[in-house]
Structure 1
Amino acid sequence: MSIADESHLSQRAEETSFYHSENITFSKNFLENLIQASDDLLNRCLNEDAQFLAELAATLSENYHHNGQEERLPKIPTSVRERPRIIQARTNIYNFQCSQVQLCLKETICSSEEADYLRFLAEYRQIARSLPENWTEQTASEVGLVSKQAGFGNLRIKLEEKVMSGNADAFTIYLLGLAYKAVGDLEKAKQTFIQVIKIYSYLWPAWRGLLTCFTGSLESVQQELAALSVNSDLKVFFLLEYSIQHDEHLSSAINAINTLIDIFPNNIDIHGLLGRAYANNRDTELSISALESVRNITDDSSVKYMDVLSNQYFMSQSRAQLAALVHALWATEKYSFETCIATANYYSLRGQKSTAIEYFERAMVLNPSYYDAWTLIGHEYIELRNFSQGLHSYRKAIAGNPNDYKAWYGLGQAYEMLKNHTSALTHHLKALNLRPNNDRICEAIGDSYEKLDQLDIAKRYFKRASRLSQFSSASCLSKIARICRRMKYDDKAAKYYEMYVQAEVEEDDLDQRHEGYSEAYFFLAQYYIEQKGDFSSGAPFARKCVWYIPTRDEGAKLLKKLPKGQLFSSTGVELDADGDISRRPLSETLPSQDPSRQKHEQLMSDSPKCKEKTEIDKFDNWSDYVKTNFE
């Protein structure tokens, strides 16, 4: 087992200890609470969150595990006298006629907590919708622009006075939390949302508001919630969402989500959560499988999570599947931002970058809070070598969401391409501050430090990236070896090159044109044959050099230095009297255990034309074979 595998296994063992899937249970009256909460949220004009809870209730399996305890929700009193006016106010809010709500719910007539909330909500939405992008109160508070609008300061003061008077219900206190969040006071917002949850634990928008109030690790978030005695059936959904947004304990989160799928087998939000988790974990095939389950459940009638699915099709270069998805989305709901994102990905995959940018911009118009689109636009401009527009797009993404590590990383990569290594390092470090356990960012920081000739620091970051993920392990081992060579530590360089070669063999990556292999094999052959005089250890690496065009001639020169008695037995290669590679059939010169020979035999065994003579035997010598296949 390689060092990378050992570190990955230790990381996986640590992750699986965070979530205990077998302990995911809900209260005895979970279903009743979901129904009541979705009805209460719908009455308070929080439609999106009401839909989430209603779908949980609709898809809950009859055999779900409950912990035997009951979690009671407060009953919201209703006034028959106020009822018609409250219904009229809700209708006005649904029809975006928020200014009419104050007339419907005059304080002299309607004094209930529900009426107070609807008046505050209408005023908040009226302010939020005065923005050019026409945002809701939730997205407007996330961005913070609503705090600069006229009337917002007065609204916040009225909310504070109402809450301090003790006459506010959980929904009104929730609006105060949004107001604190809009002015950037995340600590007050966090405490306010926690107060809301303690009063009404199924108020899902308060849980969503908490997601951006916490900035620490998942462990610290759970510890803080436990210390504050915040417990609810919805807590597990909050922790899983936080885990995915911050790329923490993804393997453990995936196990927990699969347990939830057993409890909510046909819930598209749970399947979408699983697809996003797999996507962040870079498991594209499983992510596609999970997100295609959403399409199967909804019979292609929903566009939800289809933007994520299109991203995964793009990553896997699945052009046919992406084209079919785009066709289905245009037939279902062509005026949605998910459809625009999928269409943009399709055109990008076809190489039509300008058209892709146009559809990404359309997605931003339809959903201004989807700042990932700016990051994707930046990627497209960078591929077009339009660096000024690419940098501008990344900065637009950061202006909307300063915690978007992908935009910071994109800025760093763009500056790296512009040879501005200092600026690249600055932005990569900001990305790492947001995602401390991201191996790609660590590797990029190592690249920047290496180009700035700070080799010791570069090597440290390459080691960190190698420990964090198996995806970066092999490339980082090669880079560490290269740094050791520059620092004249040949013994360490040889050790890391051998680890690199071993890691690539275990991954079954036998691409003969990869320059990293030739560099590693040539250095190891030189190291053992010329520096150590260890012909038996260096001979196999010298033989491998012959397979690669950049090191073919150098490999032949190293083979000449081997004692003639060991030449064939050690390497499987003979030199003729002129010092050229011998004209023996190649299948005779390759040892039977050589992975390259095994690969050829496996590929050719099913071909009737090659039963008597394999492809490798058709050539008289190594040089002809290499020239035919690799030049």
Structure 2
Amino acid sequence: MIYKHDEIERFKHQLQESVVVCADRCLYNATKWSAELLDGVKEGTLDLSNQYGHQHTTTGYDASLPSVNELEYNKYQYAKALFHMRQYENASYILRGMENPKLKFLRLYAKYLAGEKRKEEQTQEILGSADNSLTENPELNSIYDELRTAYDENQTMDAFCLYLYGIILRKRGDNQLAASVLLQSLKKYECNWSAWMELGTLVLNKKMFYDLQKLLDAKMTGSLIKNLFLARLALELHLPHQFYSDIMTPLTAIFPDSTYIKAQWAISFYDTMDYNESEVLFDDLRRSNPYRLEDMDVFSNLLYLKDSKEKLSVLAHQCDRIDKFRPETCCIVANYYSIKREIPLSIEYFKRALKLNRNYHWVWTLLGHDYIEMKNANAAIECYRRATDYNPRDFRAWYGLGQAYEVLKLPYYATYYYQKATDLRPHDPRMWQALGGCYEALGRHNESLDCFRRVNECDKDGRHNALIQLARIFDKMERPNAAARYYLRAIEKYETEEYDGIEVAESGLRLGRYMFSKNRLGDAERYAKIALGYSFPYHDEAQTLLDEIKNKRISTFET
């Protein structure tokens, strides 16, 4: 796909307008996203004349709303100043009785955030006696009643009141109506990135994604922000990398210097376990803006997986110096202590991150991993459950729940959670291997075979020894011919890759025994000799088999 010049110009103008419109409504994340994207637009499309700023002081969206009188304007500016100081209740109070759409949204949004703040204050201790994951925002019902009345009576609601109503509906569990309302909001004003992110939380699986994509493609043809949203959602749902790349490559050409787009590419390679390419992109991102902390938590996790202690140490110290009270910084420092095996300190910093952002699902999952390390399976389960509550698409949390129940010797429960993980990551051999191991522990050999066949299909690097796992299962099922076929395939694979693990010796012995039972003594001797070079018990068993072959030959010759 190649975007035309007028499409690019239209999107640039939309972003420039959204910086003003979203900032006026104190939607800081949406404002920052638009501004960050604009900052990365290719220079050839920019108007570098000194008069440019004077031409863009008003917005088309605000011009479509009822005008603000002097009284409303003064109230709005006062409330906005209070909002900036996080005095949400005061801001909402100042705007009481104001029905202009712009003021109404700010009043209700400030009230919503006041409730969120009180909710967090009631549950400050992470996993402590006062920590209750069911605690609700005390302002939800009153905001819901006001917005529902307006919506049901077909009163005119602007895009931002619809956006807030969508949030409230999702919090109340009415996901279907929430999705409909959010789509109405985006139809009225499509460049509110926060509304797109809210809509994204309602898409829980691939079928829902493709249904939404079909709907959006029909109703929002040529929308660049829609494509940016679909690319991000495809990444979060772990769709094939090629799908993501097809959407993002043309957009990257428009915004080659965008730190947001660079970060998304880095995360996409991290998601596909191409860690080296991901690290290169994160390094480039750090060079282009060393003070940007967004997505550095993902980078820290990448460095942890690569066991890059020194590099993670440098990242942790730099982020701590920039802003030690950012949730991302606390997460990065926690990963630093985790890689040093100082797990109690790691847990403390993960909890600090959660105190700053209770919805930080990534950290709930990592905290669960730490509790697994500490052999505290019950605490780990609670953490993983919180992670799936905040983001049911987090396959790592579902996988962690499976691991925790395996630690508790409850493989039947573990299979349920591993199945959830495979649904989200059907091309990840680790998920299928874990599920196959559980089925094997339960004696459900046919299901286990299916899983390890999937491991073999997905395992491009051959790191999971699926062939020998399949052979072992056929052995347990007393199907020696099928087992021998897989042992033979394993031997051929190991010879090709020059692999030298004990699986080679096991395959050799098993094949040797099988050939011996078929009276193919030459083949039996050849495979038995493969295991001779290995330590106990393989060397001894191989020698025993060779002696049996020798004796059988003598016996046959004498006969």
TM-score of the aligned structures, taking structure 2 as reference length: 0.86
Letter paired with 1:56: L
Distance 1:253 1:151, change over 3 A: closer
CA distance in 2, matches of 1:47, 1:117: 14
Counterpart of 1:333? Answer: 323
Counterpart of 1:188? Answer: 177
Letter paired with 1:153: N
Q: CA deviation at 1:460?
A: 1.2
2:509 to 498, 522, 526: 522
Counterpart of 2:187? Answer: 198
Map 1:361-376 to 2 at 5 A. Answer: 361-376=351-366
Q: CA deviation at 1:502?
A: 3.9
CA distance in 1, matches of 2:137, 2:40: 41
Q: CA deviation at 1:358?
A: 1.3
Distance 1:186 1:106, change over 3 A: closer
> For the Cα contact (< 8 Å) 2:119–2:138, is it kept in 1?
no
2:438 to 442, 448, 451: 448
Counterpart of 1:33? Answer: 14
Distance 1:144 1:349, change over 3 A: closer
> For the Cα contact (< 8 Å) 2:395–2:424, is it kept in 1?
yes
> For the Cα contact (< 8 Å) 1:340–1:360, is it kept in 2?
yes
> For the Cα contact (< 8 Å) 1:63–1:263, is it kept in 2?
no
Distance 1:208 1:472, change over 3 A: farther
* Structure 1 stretch displaced more, 230-239 or 338-347: 230-239
Letter paired with 1:295: R
Letter paired with 1:119: R
SS at match of 2:118: coil
Match status 1:555 vs 2:545: no
Q: Deviations over 1:392-450 (max 9, x none)?
A: 33334344444433222212112223332222223323433444454322221111111
The structure with the larger Rg is 1
Distance 1:368 1:509, change over 3 A: farther
Counterpart of 1:123? Answer: 111
Letter paired with 2:120: P
> For the Cα contact (< 8 Å) 1:144–1:182, is it kept in 2?
no
> For the Cα contact (< 8 Å) 1:59–1:266, is it kept in 2?
yes
Q: CA deviation at 1:88?
A: 1.7
2:268 to 264, 273, 277: 277
CA distance in 1, matches of 2:184, 2:164: 12
Q: CA deviation at 1:294?
A: 1.7
> For the Cα contact (< 8 Å) 1:144–1:184, is it kept in 2?
no
CA distance in 1, matches of 2:192, 2:141: 25
> For the Cα contact (< 8 Å) 1:440–1:472, is it kept in 2?
no
Q: CA deviation at 1:161?
A: 2.5
Distance 1:129 1:64, change over 3 A: same
Q: CA deviation at 1:96?
A: 1.7
* Structure 1 stretch displaced more, 404-413 or 186-195: 404-413
Q: CA deviation at 1:558?
A: 4.2
Letter paired with 1:547: G
Q: Deviations over 1:267-320 (max 9, x none)?
A: 22112111211111111111211222221111x222221111110111011111
CA distance in 2, matches of 1:74, 1:47: 18
Counterpart of 2:288? Answer: 297
> For the Cα contact (< 8 Å) 1:194–1:230, is it kept in 2?
no
> For the Cα contact (< 8 Å) 2:93–2:107, is it kept in 1?
no
Match status 1:267 vs 2:253: no
SS at match of 2:387: helix
1:406 to 393, 396, 399: 396
CA distance in 2, matches of 1:265, 1:133: 42
> For the Cα contact (< 8 Å) 1:372–1:397, is it kept in 2?
yes
CA distance in 1, matches of 2:29, 2:409: 46
* Structure 1 stretch displaced more, 403-412 or 335-344: 403-412
Distance 1:312 1:481, change over 3 A: same
Letter paired with 1:283: D
> For the Cα contact (< 8 Å) 1:291–1:305, is it kept in 2?
no
1:79 to 68, 84, 106: 68
Distance 1:308 1:237, change over 3 A: same
> For the Cα contact (< 8 Å) 1:437–1:468, is it kept in 2?
yes
Letter paired with 1:198: K
Q: Deviations over 1:182-223 (max 9, x none)?
A: 101111011111111111111211111111212231433312
1:225 to 182, 207, 216: 216
> For the Cα contact (< 8 Å) 2:241–2:268, is it kept in 1?
yes
Q: CA deviation at 1:38?
A: 1.6
Distance 1:317 1:103, change over 3 A: closer
Letter paired with 1:270: I
Letter paired with 1:302: R
Distance 1:99 1:353, change over 3 A: closer
Distance 1:54 1:275, change over 3 A: same
Letter paired with 2:113: R
> For the Cα contact (< 8 Å) 2:474–2:480, is it kept in 1?
yes
CA distance in 2, matches of 1:322, 1:115: 46
* Structure 1 stretch displaced more, 154-163 or 97-106: 97-106
Match status 1:166 vs 2:166: no
> For the Cα contact (< 8 Å) 1:415–1:424, is it kept in 2?
yes
Q: CA deviation at 1:227?
A: 4.7
Distance 1:86 1:22, change over 3 A: same
> For the Cα contact (< 8 Å) 1:292–1:309, is it kept in 2?
no
CA distance in 1, matches of 2:190, 2:441: 52
> For the Cα contact (< 8 Å) 1:337–1:367, is it kept in 2?
yes
Match status 1:114 vs 2:105: no
SS at match of 1:546: helix
> For the Cα contact (< 8 Å) 2:371–2:380, is it kept in 1?
yes
Distance 1:505 1:157, change over 3 A: farther
Letter paired with 1:196: S
Q: CA deviation at 1:170?
A: 0.6
> For the Cα contact (< 8 Å) 2:22–2:192, is it kept in 1?
yes
Q: Deviations over 1:487-544 (max 9, x none)?
A: 12222212222333444455x463x3x2222212221233234425062x55553332
Letter paired with 2:539: R
Q: CA deviation at 1:62?
A: 3.8
Q: Deviations over 1:590-625 (max 9, x none)?
A: xxxxxxxxxxxxxxxxxxxxxxxxxxxxxxxxxxxx
Distance 1:493 1:346, change over 3 A: same
> For the Cα contact (< 8 Å) 1:197–1:203, is it kept in 2?
yes
CA distance in 2, matches of 1:424, 1:189: 33
Runs of 5+ unmatched residues, structure 1: 1-20, 66-71, 136-142, 567-631
Counterpart of 2:55? Answer: none
CA distance in 2, matches of 1:34, 1:265: 16
CA distance in 2, matches of 1:166, 1:505: 73
TM-score of the aligned structures, taking structure 1 as reference length: 0.76
Distance 1:220 1:121, change over 3 A: same
SS at match of 2:120: coil
1:209 to 194, 198, 207: 198
State the percentage of identical aligned residues. Answer: 27
